[in-house]
Amino acid sequence: MKLETLRKLYVTELKSLYSAEKQILLGLKKMKVAAHHDELKQAFEQHYAETEGQIKRLEQIFDRLGESPKGQTSRATLGLIAEGEKIIKAKGQSDVIDAGLIAAAQKIEHNEIACYGTAIAYAKQLGDHESAALLQQNLDEEYATDKRLTAMAENSINREATYSTGYYEESSEYTSSSSNNIGISLSGLLLGAATGVAVGMLLAPSAGSDFRRKISSQANNLFDQFGGQLGSVSDVAKSLLDKFSAQEGKSGNNPSGPQTQNSPYGAGGPKF
Ligand SMILES: [Fe+2]
């Protein structure tokens, strides 16, 4: 390939985009079939229709430029779609597969976003503002799709994928294994709870003894539920809690702690 002018590079970029969109059209069809969530299927279906429109806009640009849209293959898209095919063909939990499909689709979208951004910059540089406007419409659709996929992943599908692995159920042996991740997490939670109680008691004002009793009681419930099942970390946490509970019983306050106005919750602490 000879690249002697920016126009040549611009046309090459446009051809690569055209190749990408054609491949994506086929990829979206497969992704829609492979998806399990209705919302995800709809997103792929909607973007399929948008992609058809994007191809038409690109063809308008080629007409304007007097160039053929053919002659370039987007190898990046070939590779990204091949990656996506692995998820499409995967067996396993439906929520996890959907999370993988979103990730695969977003990799493709991000590549398109980069390519459209470049093509728009070249179009503007060359004074091809009409084409730049058409390309911008395509780019806006890619951004919107990417945003929609992110929202779907973060608001529901990634979370559902977390629970659908059965990880929590399968990890019931945490009661006898201190090296288990869940066991470690719960120990950390208990230590955090005890530390929170300690900090809460330090910050609580003299009028907040009721508040102190409540947080102490809630932390104790947590220990009753889980503490006995965990190892030495929870023992440390429990002793920390006991120490501050005893102090509460003796003085009803901690005069050396920060003043009430320093509490982010104001007098009396947070309301439960
Ligand atoms: Fe596209």
CA–CA gap between residue 124 and residue 200 (Å, rounded): 59
Ordered domains of the chain (ranges, CATH):
6-164 (1.20.1260.10), 179-252 (no CATH)
Per-residue tokens: 84? 């996506």
The per-residue pLDDT of the chain, averaged, comes to: 77
How many other CB atoms sit within 10 Å of the CB of residue 244?
Answer: 23
**Rounded-to-integer distance, Cα 206 and Cα 259, Å:** 10
pLDDT of 163: 84
Between 111-125, 126-140, 150-164, 210-224, the lowest mean confidence (pLDDT) is in 210-224
Query: Distance, CA 21 to ligand 1 centroid (Å)?
Result: 5
CA distance 152 to 38: 11
Q: Cα of 127 to ligand 1 centre, how many Å?
A: 23
Q: What is the pLDDT of residues 67-78, one digit of tens each?
A: 999 999 999 999
Dist. CA 76 → ligand 1 center (Å): 14
Query: Higher-confidence residue: 206 or 107?
Result: 107
Average pLDDT, stretch 253-264? 36
**Lookup: tokens for 117:** 């951004």
Ligand 1 center to residue 141 CA distance, Å?
7
**Ligand 1: distance of its center to the CA of 138 in Å?**
7
Tell me the CA–centroid distance for residue 95 and ligand 1, in Å: 25
Q: How far is the CA of 261 from the centre of ligand 1 (A)?
A: 55
What pLDDT is recorded for position 269? 37
Angle among Cα 164, 167, 169 to the nearest 5 degrees reads: 95
Question: Are 180 and 174 within 8 A, CB to CB?
Answer: yes
pLDDT for residue 143 is more than 70: yes
Q: In this predicted structure, what is the pLDDT of residue 192? A: 54
Over residues 78-121, the pLDDT tens digits come to: 999 999 999 999 999 999 999 999 999 999 999 999 999 999 99
Q: How far is the CA of 28 from the centre of ligand 1 (A)?
A: 10
Nearest residue to 68 via CA among 133, 4, 1, 18: 18
- The pTM assigned to this predicted structure is 0.62
At residue 188, does pLDDT exceed 70? no
CA 153 to centroid of ligand 1, rounded, Å: 20
- Quote the pLDDT of residue 1: 86
d(CA 112, ligand 1 centre) in Å: 6
